[in-house]
Amino acid sequence: MSETAKLTLEGKEIELPIVVGTENEKAIDISKLRGETGYITLDYGFKNTGSTSSAITFLNGEKGILRYRGYPIEQLAEKAEFLEVAYLVINGELPTKDQYDAFKKAITNHTLIHEDMRHFLKAYPRGAHPMGIAASMICSLSTFYPESQDSNRSEEERNLTIHRLLAKLPTIAAWSYKFSQRHPVVYPQNKYDYCENFMHMMFSMPTDDYTPDPVIAKALNKLLILHVDHEQNCSTATVRVVGSSQANLYASIAAGVTALWGPLHGGANQAVIEMLENIKKDGGDIDKWIAKAKDKQDPFRLMGFGHRVYKNFDPRATIIKKSADEVLEALGVDDPILDIAKKLEKIALEDEYFIKRGLYPNVDFYSGIIYRAIGIPTEMFTVMFAMGRLPGWIAQWKEMRENGEPIGRPRQVYTGENERDFIDIANR
Ligand code: CMC
């Protein structure tokens, strides 16, 4: 008989099954708890609650380990292409050469978006945040491909939606930027690979054809890989919960994009650069900003610092910090913001407040510095995160549907009024 946990409630002892994962991660299965005892578990922010079992990403926050389908992030970031990693997380295995060629071809075939969708872009006000545009445009794709609204379709039809999403998000992202600048959009070109094509759509002008720089395309490839998946974070959990209602993939991904937008999640990369700019404008007094971050009366937090699961270091941040130095050097960019970031990191890492709470730079601390160096405007940073995270969201949605998981529906402890009689408006 497998091991169980014993729980004593109101003098009665009940046994709860223990579930052990392939990396020896342990969980107590409480799914029958309410039925047998009337109790539920309470865990604000799901800090200690597993919502599913998953074979996609393994993460050990204490040891700073991150693996997609068993492959260490360090190896993937160094050796793989973004679409290769996308194939890996979505399908479970690295593609053979033939499989990879077919996958890339399928994606290249769908990079255009419907011309009518281009007209939507005209209606957004100048300076509209590209995350708002991206979420709406992704959701709108479901209306252009109405068959996708049946999420119980065949594998082949589902793959078509997956290819369309991967192909069209860079176009949507680049076009939302072009429209925000009131510049004409640039159409995708099939001669380019995924990252080059995005840079081409972002930076080519009708009068001046941009040639993607290999240093930039390589840096972008690495950044996207580092963002591909991160198990049950806020946006991914959102995608799974929305998808569990059998909402279509486009709608589920749009929900993930909106969850990512917040500054405590993917929006942190934009917030980090804005913070570093503010520190610079304010005279660069780092001690003052560290003190603000520690002051519980002050809402300011050190953006790009801290993580729900990493308490020693974020392996993605280690790779990105090194890459930031390399990219800036290769491009000959001297960004004073990088010096401020490094000083801030050094002081924070020696400070008792940050040490005690296990607060370290996360993936977003240095990513914005690379995005800036390669010419991506600050408001686009979180869209870049979304482009990287897209394969992970798709893989998680697919896994949840293939496992036939039930609709996500947490419980609550009610703390409102007890029953009372309605009072007529004249007597209130
Ligand atoms: N600056 C100052 N204090 C902090 C910070 C920070 N960045 N992060 C956490 N703390 C403190 C917090 O005040 C609390 O202190 P105390 O125990 O005295 O009340 C303690 O550390 C624990 O924080 P928490 O908010 O309970 O931790 P959490 O796991 O709920 O939040 C977090 C994790 C990432 C939301 C948080 O660290 C944070 O707000 N960081 C800044 C935003 C950020 O960089 N987000 C990007 C995360 S990585 C990208 C992604 O995958 O989303």
123 within a domain of the structure (yes/no):
yes
DSSP annotation string for 306-364: --SS-SS--HHHHHHHHHHHHHHHHHT---HHHHHHHHHHHHHHTSHHHHHTT--B-HH
**Does a structural domain hold residue 324?**
yes
Work out the average pLDDT over 301-320. 91
Ligand 1: centre distance to CA 143 (Å): 38
Please check whether residues 35 and 84 belong to one and the same domain: no
* Nearest-atom index, ligand 1, CA of 293: 2
For the chain, what is the mean pLDDT? Answer: 94
Tally the C-alpha atoms within 13 A of residue 299's C-alpha that lie toward its C-beta.
Answer: 2
pLDDT at 3: 87
Active site members: 307, 364
Which residue, judged by its Cα, is nearest atom 52 of ligand 1? 265
363 lies in the same domain as 216: no
Residue 389's closest CA among 21, 56, 50, 23? 56
User: 270: CA distance to ligand 1 center in Å?
Assistant: 16
The 3-state DSSP class for residue 59 equals: strand
For the CA of 362, the closest atom of ligand 1 is 48
Q: Indicate which CATH number applies to the domain containing 19.
A: 2.20.28
Give me the mean pLDDT over the 83-104 stretch: 98
**Where does the pLDDT of residue 126 fall: very low under 50, low under 70, confident under 90, or very high at 90 and above?**
confident
152 — pLDDT class (breaks 50, 70, 90): confident
pLDDT digits (tens, 9 = 90+) for 326-361: 888 999 988 898 889 989 999 999 999 999 999 999
Phi-psi region of 220 (alpha: psi -120 to 50; beta: other; left: phi over 0): alpha
CB 176 within 8 A of CB 134: yes
Same domain? For 315 and 241 the reply is no
CA-closest residue to ligand 1 atom 9: 306
Query: 199 and 306 in one domain?
Result: no
389 lines ligand 1 (CB under 6 A): no
Beta carbons of 173 and 260 less than 8 angstroms apart: no
Q: CA nearest 129: which of 141, 137, 139, 117?
A: 137
Residue 156 and residue 249 share a domain: yes
- Range in 168-172, 179-183, 241-245, 418-422 the model is least confident about: 179-183
pTM (predicted TM-score): 0.94
Instruction: Say yes or no: 254 and 173 in one domain.
Output: yes
Q: Which of 359, 364, 366, 382 to mutate to test the pocket of ligand 1 (most atoms within 8 A of CB)?
A: 359
Q: Is 419 domain-assigned?
A: no
Closest residue by Cα to residue 304 from 336, 278, 258, 341: 341
CA angle 124, 128, 129 (to 5 degrees): 135
CB atoms within 10 A of CB 423: 8
pLDDT confidence of residue 1 = 47
- Spatial CA neighbour of 62 closest among 25, 21, 19: 25
Residue 187 domain-assigned? yes
Q: Among the listed ranges 291-295, 322-326, 390-394, which one has the minimum average pLDDT value?
A: 322-326
Q: Would you tell me how many other CB atoms lie within 10 Å of the CB of residue 240? A: 24
Q: Does ligand 1 have an atom closer than 6 angstroms to the CB of 363?
A: yes
Residue whose Cα lies nearest atom 35 of ligand 1: it is 264
Could you give the CA distance from residue 168 to residue 250 in angstroms, rounded to a whole number?
11
For position 233, what pLDDT does the model report?
A: 97
Tell me, using a 6 A CB cutoff, whether residue 66 lines ligand 1. no
The total of other beta-carbon atoms located within 10 Å of residue 172's CB is 26
CA distance 202 to 216: 13
Examine the domain organization and report whether 92 and 178 are in the same domain: yes
Q: What is the C-alpha R_g of the chain?
A: 23
Beta carbons within 8 Å of 309's beta carbon, 6+ residues apart: 59, 61
Per-position DSSP letters for 149-217, written without gaps between them? G-TT--HHHHHHHHHHHHHHHHHHHHHHHHHHTTPPP----TTS-HHHHHHHHHH-BTTBPPPPPHHHH
Give me the pLDDT at residue 382, please. Answer: 96
Mutate which of 316, 357, 389, 393 for ligand 1? The one with the most ligand atoms within 8 Å of its CB, which is 357
In total, the chain counts a number of residues equal to 428
Angle between helices 130-144 and 115-123 (to 10 degrees): 140
CA–centroid distance, residue 304 to ligand 1 (Å): 9
Kindly report the CATH number assigned to the domain that includes residue 302: 1.10.230.10
Residue 332 belongs to a domain: yes
Query: What is the domain count for the chain?
Result: 3
Query: Are 331 and 357 found together in one domain?
Result: yes
Please, are residues 354 and 307 in contact by the beta-carbon 8 Å criterion? Answer: no
The C-alpha atoms of residue 250 and residue 6 are separated, in whole angstroms, by 43
Q: In angstroms, rounded to a whole number, what is the distance separating the alpha carbons of residues 240 and 347?
A: 39
Same domain (yes/no): 127, 34: no
Owning domain of residue 20? 4-50
The CATH number assigned to the domain holding 175 equals: 1.10.580.10
Residues β-bridged to residue 196: none
**pLDDT value of position 153:** 83
Please state which of the ranges 36-45, 181-190, 250-259, 409-418 shows the lowest mean pLDDT: 181-190
The confidence band for 312, taking pLDDT boundaries of 50, 70 and 90, is confident
Q: Is residue 144 part of a domain?
A: yes
Assigned domain for 413 exists: no
Of all atoms in ligand 1, which is nearest to the CA of residue 308? Answer: 29
Which of 95, 115, 112, 91 lies closest to 104 in space, CA to CA? 95
Ligand 1 and 308: CB distance under 6 A = yes
- Helix, strand, coil proportions of the chain in percent (round to 5)? 55, 5, 35
| Residue closest by Cα to atom 39 of ligand 1 | 264
Q: Between vectors from CA 195 to CA 189 and to CA 201, what angle results, nearest 5°? A: 45
Q: Are residues 167 and 191 in the same domain?
A: yes
CA pair distance 333, 40, nearest whole angstrom: 55
Q: Report the separation in Å between the CA atom of 301 and the middle of ligand 1, taken as the mean of its atom positions.
A: 8
Instruction: For ligand 1, say whether the CB of 9 is within 6 Å of any of its atoms.
Output: no
**Taken in order 307, 310, 311, 316, is the CA torsion positive or negative?**
negative
Q: In this structure, are 178 and 83 located in the same domain?
A: yes
Do 31 and 111 lie in one domain? The reply is no
Residue 425 belongs to some domain of the structure = no
